[in-house]
Amino acid sequence: MHDILRAVGSALNDIENRVSLAGHTDAAPYGNGDRGYGNWELSADRANASRRELVAAGMPDDKLVRVVGLAASDLLDKKNALAPLNRRISIVVLTRDAESRLFGNARLEGNDAVKAIATELAKEQKKPEGADAPAAPAGAAPTATPGRAQP
Q: Are 23 and 72 in contact (CB under 8 A)?
A: no
pLDDT at 73 over 80: yes
Which domains occur in the chain, in start order? 2-126 (3.30.1330.60)
Output the pTM of the full model: 0.65
**What distance in Å separates the CA atoms of residue 118 and residue 121, rounded to the nearest whole number?**
5
Q: Per-residue confidence at 72, pLDDT binned at 50, 70, 90?
A: very high
* H helix and E strand count, the chain: 4, 3
List, for residues 11-53, the tens digit of each pLDDT value: 998 889 999 999 999 999 987 766 788 999 999 999 999 999 9
Helical pair 39-56 and 2-12, crossing angle rounded to 10 deg: 60
pLDDT at 78 over 60: yes
Average pLDDT over residues 62-68: 93
Residue type, 55: V
In the three-class reduction of DSSP (H, G, I as helix; E, B as strand; rest coil), residue 15 is classed as coil
**What distance in Å separates the CA atoms of residue 13 and residue 66, rounded to the nearest whole number?**
16
